[in-house]
Chains A and B, each alone.
Chain A
Amino acid sequence: MSDTNTSTDFDAIVIGAGNAGLTAATALQRGGANTLLLERHNIPGGCATSFVRGEFEFEVALHQLSGLGTEDKPFIMRKIFGDLGVMDKVEFVQEHELYRMVVKDEFDITLPASWTGIRDVLVENFPAEEAGIKAFMKLCEQVTMESFMGLPMARKMNSEKMLMTNCKNYAEHGLRSAKDVLDEHFENEQLKTLLAAYWCYLGMPPKDINFCDLAVMLYAYGVFKPWHIKGGSQALSSALLESFLEAGGEVRFNCSVDKILTEQSGNKPKVTGIITEFGEEIPCGQIISNASTVVTFGDLLDTPIMPEGISKDFKSRDLGTSAFCLYLGMDKTPEQLGIKNASTFLSSTMNEELMHDTMSTMNPPVATMMTCYNVDDPSFAPPGKSQISLLCLQYGSVWEDVPVEQYAETKYAFAEHLLKQAEEFFPGFRASIEEVEVATPLTMMRYLNTPGGAIYGFQQNPEDGPLHRERYDQVDGLHIAGSWQGMGGFQPTYMVGTSTANAIVKKINKQRAAAQAIQEKDALNTSGVANV
């Protein structure tokens, strides 16, 4: 059999129109690869979507978009979105605060979205810790910069010298636990809790995350600001799809994939196409899966047993957290409700390990996250109203044991816990509800098709970061793009989709150039023969 690419209509097939699937498909099509995008739901976006109830269009998943930077100080996502042709199709809304954190009977502090502003607020609230604060923030900045610049360069050159000179801070502190580094810098427990609040964007408590991940989040949000999108993350998903279609891509909604077909090629299987849920076989040599790795390799791949490397990788993984979320349409403005900040972390304890342990139970959550999109963008709800999401992280396994006939009542009973907590911090909250939709980890599972309803992919333990995990390459032509190939969250998934696609485009162009060269050589030979 000759090169698989030449015998098919599509250069690439993308399974799933989540963030990574959309950026991959768009980058592929705009890069000249004829691409088919398949999505089991009726709308693009995966997590990055919305739904309508009454007068409200609810944002499903985006809390704070990172990596965009300002127009004056642009950062990487601005370039990526530009390359994908969506900068003129969406409107970004800047947030002015990182977050407000309230721990009952302990503290209530708001961090602004400014690196020096954060320092000032911290010093003002914790004057005795001034030296530690300055040192910690300096270290966050250094580790972030080194992880973006010095480290990739040192790895590329495989140079120990570069590592030890250009990434000194990263080498010394990057892979230490965030808790260790916080403990080393600070005495005050309140300050540590306040600075570690973003752990919930990763799903593991500070003792179990690498310091570099916390450092990058704090620094990136502080310097490059948190952002929303007008119309919600759905607007960006739809803009990416529009760009994909404009470039000539083909999309099919309400069409899931049943099988990824392979043939043995040397010591590895290699993809030859897919079969849709309707039994249609579509040949293709390059497949990008935005589905979870567990579904991709465990369910879809047609090999009789899982490739050995995959099995080994899976054994060393745990499923990451899911979430329980209330989407609330309120008939009052944020001011009337007493909500002054877009992102608020509400907690009844400073013990993050207790918070994390609670995530594996049906016990009332001890920490919730409230996002009120109207604070920075009044258009997020009709005039006089507001939209709020109230979320706690929770593992899906708890919900898998609930008998189906008790599912609805269990869901409402658990939702009561979150409402009760919100009411404690914002009296009168409940009376203003005009619409509410409840999403459990099983809802996440239904819409994301992830095992355990995982929202960030596999659990992010210290040994699950990019230094310890390689790209899945056990099947030729099968690429994983999404939170299961790295980190969860918006920026990481947008980026992994783009980088996966760019590598494939490069490969396809190379193959095309080689094919062209052969053709030209043949033509030359033929004409040569004729001339004799």
Chain B
Amino acid sequence: MSNSNELLNNIVGFTEGVARKEEREQSGSDYSKEKWKTKNDIAKLHPKRLQLTVSDIFQDTPSTKTFRLVMDGINDAIVLPPFQAGQYINLYTRIDGVETARPYAISSCPTHRGYYDLTVKLVESGFVTGYLLGDDVKVGQAFTATSPMGTFYHNPLFHGDELVFLAGGSGGAPARSMIESVLNRGLNINFHLIYGNSYENDVIFQDSFRQLADKHENFTLSEVVSRPTEGYDGLTGHLNKDLITKLIGDASTKTFYVCGPTPFNDFCEQQLKELGVENKRIRIECNGPPKKPSCLDGWPEVVDEQDEITVTVKGRGQFVAKTGEPLLNSLERNGYTVENACRSGECSLCRVKVLEGEVFNPPEAMLRKSDKDFGWVHSCVAFPTTDIEILY
């Protein structure tokens, strides 16, 4: 360009611009004092990974433990990234040589900056919960995790201040965080927790919820047991529309949070819709891949969940897997590492491209339009129904 500077001097305003530029060169900062500032600024809110240590383990109920995770493993002096009550972290584990991960809702209140509590309920034949609730995990154990994420939280811009949380079993974990957040911050919100459990002796945070309900006028607790013992005198049955109406009156003006096992979520959603609650007032936390994908619409009739297919990872190798197993799980079992977090079809971190073959995507897979056009799937909820070749 220097050769034509003389030429450009003929353009009105050019020389003045050069002068301004040269003046700025004398006075400005060259950003070199703060190396990695952008990366460090991002990490204050959203570090890619957290190195956590178990500082305490609480046995909440016969089927449930709460793990308190801190940053440095000794005390809770170091603060963790902030989160919004209801969010989760994805916890990485290595079990029998398999590297995998599971998302767990944080059950502690965001106002406690020194630790995250993860409350884990045993899932029948659960690969990871079995390990976490067994004897192997002890105080002092280190874990890697993502920073908090997820979209299941109270959004004051449109959720209003009449909130109802329909929780089933482990759904009590994010509920506790949300309730404590409302109460600890003194928010002007009425919060009603309708908490469904199978057994009256296996209710997470039962005492703590009851104490909070006694103490705070704006928090109401309704406990419901579906398999009561003889003589149980509390509410029983499922969280159907009659029960909901009986407990809260007009449902249409309130915002509902629903979190529990997938069948519980589906049932509650249907009940709320029948009560005329609009879409925007129903917030449902996703909860893992479908357990029986073959029962869903669109699953090819000729395919059995036990059928075996071959997965080829382009340029890297291949393995045999069952059609009923989420692709992400079989990839992990065979030593392939795929970034992931929600494991429920929502966050899209585990995108892979299907080059050949067919994959079943359940409704959980919140795919973008262009993902569908170009064959990208969310591997955490993708079920290969033929031999496939993938790229990631």
Binding site for B on A (CB under 8 A): 42-43, 50-55, 57, 89, 154-155, 158-160, 163-164, 170-176, 210, 230-232, 234-235, 237-239, 241-242, 245, 253-254, 292, 294-295, 298-299, 305-306, 310-318, 331, 400, 404-405, 407-408, 412, 415-416, 419, 430, 433-438, 442, 445-446, 449-451, 461-465, 467-468, 470
Bound Cα distance A235, B3 (Å): 42
Say yes or no: is B1 at the interface (Cβ < 8 Å to chain A). yes
The answer to whether A299 touches B373 (Cβ under 8 A) is: no
Q: Does B84 contact A (CB under 8 A)?
A: yes
Distance in Å from the Cβ of A528 to the closest Cβ of chain B? 43
- 8 Å CB contact of B370 from A42, A231, A305, A442: A231
Whether the Cβ atoms of A408 and B42 lie closer than 8 Å is: no
Which residues of B have CB within 8 Å of A292? Answer: 38
Can you show 10 pairs from A to B with CB atoms below 8 A apart? A52-B346, A52-B348, A175-B13, A299-B39, A311-B30, A412-B156, A412-B157, A446-B46, A451-B38, A464-B21
A487 to chain B, nearest CB (A): 15
Most-contacted residue by chain A among B26, B36, B368 (CB, 10 A) = B368
Which B residues, 257 to 309, have Cβ-Cβ distances below 8 Å to chain A? 278-280
Q: Are A462 and B13 interface neighbours, CB within 8 A?
A: yes
In the bound complex, residues from chain B placing their C-beta under 8 Å from that of A52 are 346, 348, 366-368
Say yes or no: B279 contacts A55, CB within 8 Å: yes
Contact B155 A436 (CB under 8 A): yes
Q: Chain A residues near B351: list those with CB within 8 A.
A: 42-43, 253
Q: Are A54 and B279 in contact (CB under 8 A)?
A: yes
Q: Are B373 and A231 in contact (CB under 8 A)?
A: yes
With a CB–CB cut-off of 8 A, which chain B residues contact A210? 13
The answer for the CA separation of A339 and B209 in the assembled complex, in Å, is 46
Chain A positions within 8 Å of B14 at CB level: 175, 467-468
Complex Cα spacing A173 to B3, Å: 23
* Nearest-CB residue, chain B, relative to A406: B82
CB neighbours (8 Å) of A295 from chain B are 38-39
CB-CB under 8 A from B94, the residues of chain A are none
Contact A253 B392 (CB under 8 A): yes
Distance A430 CA – B280 CA, assembled complex (angstroms): 12
Measured between alpha carbons, how far is A2 from B113 in the docked complex, in Å?
56
A434 adjacent to B31 (CB under 8 Å): no
A103 → chain B, closest Cβ, in Å? 26
CB pair A42–B339 under 8 Å, yes or no, is yes
**Complex formed: what's the CA distance from A158 to B276 in Å?**
73
User: What would 15 more interface pairs be, CB under 8 Å, given A231-B373, A437-B151?
Assistant: A42-B350, A42-B351, A51-B348, A52-B367, A53-B151, A155-B8, A158-B4, A174-B12, A237-B370, A292-B38, A314-B32, A315-B27, A405-B113, A445-B38, A467-B8
The answer, yes or no, to whether B25 is at the interface (CB within 8 Å) is yes
Q: Say yes or no: B371 contacts A238, CB within 8 Å.
A: yes
Residue of B nearest to A310 (CB): B30
Q: Are B13 and A299 in contact (CB under 8 A)?
A: no
Beyond A412-B156, A419-B157, whether A442 also contacts B30 by CB under 8 A is no
Within the assembled complex, what's the spacing in Å between the Cα atoms of A464 and B17? 8
Q: Which A residue sits closest to B39, measured CB to CB?
A: A299
Number of interface residues of B (CB under 8 A): 64
Would you give the shortest CB distance from B307 to chain A, in whole angstroms?
A: 29
CB distance from A395 to the nearest CB of B (A): 14
Q: How far is the CA of A165 from the CA of B41 in the complex (A)?
A: 51
Q: Which 7 A-B pairs have the closest CB atoms?
A: A175-B13, A315-B28, A463-B17, A316-B24, A434-B280, A238-B370, A314-B30
Closest to B371 in A: A238
Q: A158-B3, A438-B157 are in contact. Are A234 and B368 (CB under 8 A)?
A: yes
- A-B Cβ contacts below 8 A, count: 193
- Of the candidates A89, A164, A408, the one whose C-beta lies within 8 Å of that of B10 is A164
The smallest C-beta distance from A404 to any residue of chain B, in angstroms, reads 5
Counting CB contacts under 8 A, is B349 at the interface?
yes
Q: Report which of B25, B151, B157 forms a contact with A416, defined as CB distance below 8 A.
A: B157
Most buried by B among A230, A314, A430, A463: A463
Q: Does B44 contact A (CB under 8 A)?
A: yes
What's the Cα separation between A44 and B33 when bound, in Å? Answer: 31
Instruction: Spell out B's residues near A (CB within 8 Å).
Output: 1, 3-4, 7-8, 10-14, 17-18, 20-22, 24-32, 35-39, 41-42, 44-46, 81-82, 84, 113, 151, 155-158, 278-280, 339, 346, 348-351, 353, 366-371, 373-374, 376, 391-392
Task: Determine the chain B residues whose CB is within 8 A of the CB of A306 once the complex forms.
Answer: 30, 32
Contact B17 A155 (CB under 8 A): no
Residue from the list A254, A435, A438 in contact with B280, Cβ < 8 A: A435
A256 to B163 CA separation, bound complex (whole angstroms): 41
| C-alpha spacing A495/B355, complex, angstroms | 30
B155 touching A239 by the CB < 8 A rule?
no
- Given A405-B82, A435-B280; A462-B348 close (CB under 8 Å): no
Are A408 and B13 in touch, CB under 8 angstroms? no
A438–B3 Cα gap in the complex (Å)? 48
Instruction: Provide the residues of chain A in CB contact with B41, threshold 8 Å.
Output: 400, 442, 445
B4 and A463: CB pair below 8 A?
Answer: no
Shortest A138–chain B CB gap in Å is: 18
In the complex, the answer to whether A436 meets B7 with C-beta atoms within 8 Å is: no
Given A412-B156, A419-B157, A311 and B32 contact (CB-CB distance below 8 Å): yes
Nearest B-chain residue to A254, judged by Cβ: B339
A314-B35 Cα distance, complex, nearest whole Å: 14
Residues of A within 8 A of B27 (CB): 315
Contact status B366-A314, CB under 8 Å: no
Selected contact of B44 from candidates A171, A315, A404, CB within 8 Å: A404
Complex Cα gap A52–B366 (Å): 7
User: Which residue from chain A places its CB closest to the CB of B12 in the assembled complex?
Assistant: A172
* Contact status B369-A57, CB under 8 Å: yes
Residue of A nearest to B21 (CB): A463
Q: How far is the CA of A313 from the CA of B21 in the complex (A)?
A: 9
- The minimal Cβ–Cβ distance linking B273 to chain A, given in whole angstroms, is 14
CA distance A239 to B373 in the complex (A): 9
Also in contact, A160 and B25, with CB within 8 A (given A42-B348, A42-B351, A436-B158): no
CA distance A310 to B373 in the complex (A): 42
B280 x A42 contact (CB < 8 A): no
Q: Which residues of chain A come closer than 8 Å to B151, judged between CB atoms?
A: 53, 437
Does B82 contact A315, Cβ atoms closer than 8 Å?
A: no
Are B10's CB and A316's CB within 8 A?
Answer: no
Chain A: CB-nearest residue to B3: A158
Give Cα A154 to B376, complex, Å: 48
Cβ B45 vs Cβ A442 within 8 A: yes
Which residues of the other chain, B, contact A170 by a CB distance below 8 angstroms? Answer: 11
> Which A residues touch B24, using CB under 8 A?
315-317, 463
Chain B neighbourhood of A437, CB < 8 A:
151
For residue A419, give the distance in angstroms from its CB to the closest CB of chain B: 7
Question: Does B158 lie within 8 Å of A316, measured CB to CB?
Answer: no
User: Which one of B36, B45, B350, B376 has the greatest number of beta carbons of chain A within 10 Å?
Assistant: B45
Contact: B25 with A316, CB < 8 Å? yes
Contacts of A154 in B (CB 8 A): 7
Shortest distance from the beta carbon of B24 to any chain A beta carbon, whole Å: 4
Expressed in whole angstroms, the Cα–Cα distance for A438 and B280 within the complex equals 16
Contact between chains at B17 and A468 (CB < 8 Å): yes
Residue pair A450, B280 in contact (C-beta under 8 Å): no
Find chain B residues with CB under 8 A from A231 CB.
368-370, 373
The complex places the Cα of A159 from the Cα of B391 at a distance, in Å, of 53
Q: What's the least CB distance linking A441 to chain B, in Å?
A: 10
Expressed in whole angstroms, the Cα–Cα distance for A450 and B42 within the complex equals 10
Tell me whether A42 and B349 are in contact (CB under 8 A): yes
| Assembled-state Cα–Cα distance A379/B156 (Å) | 29
Residues of A close to B28: CB separation below 8 A: 314-318
Inter-chain contacts of A313 with B (CB < 8 A):
25
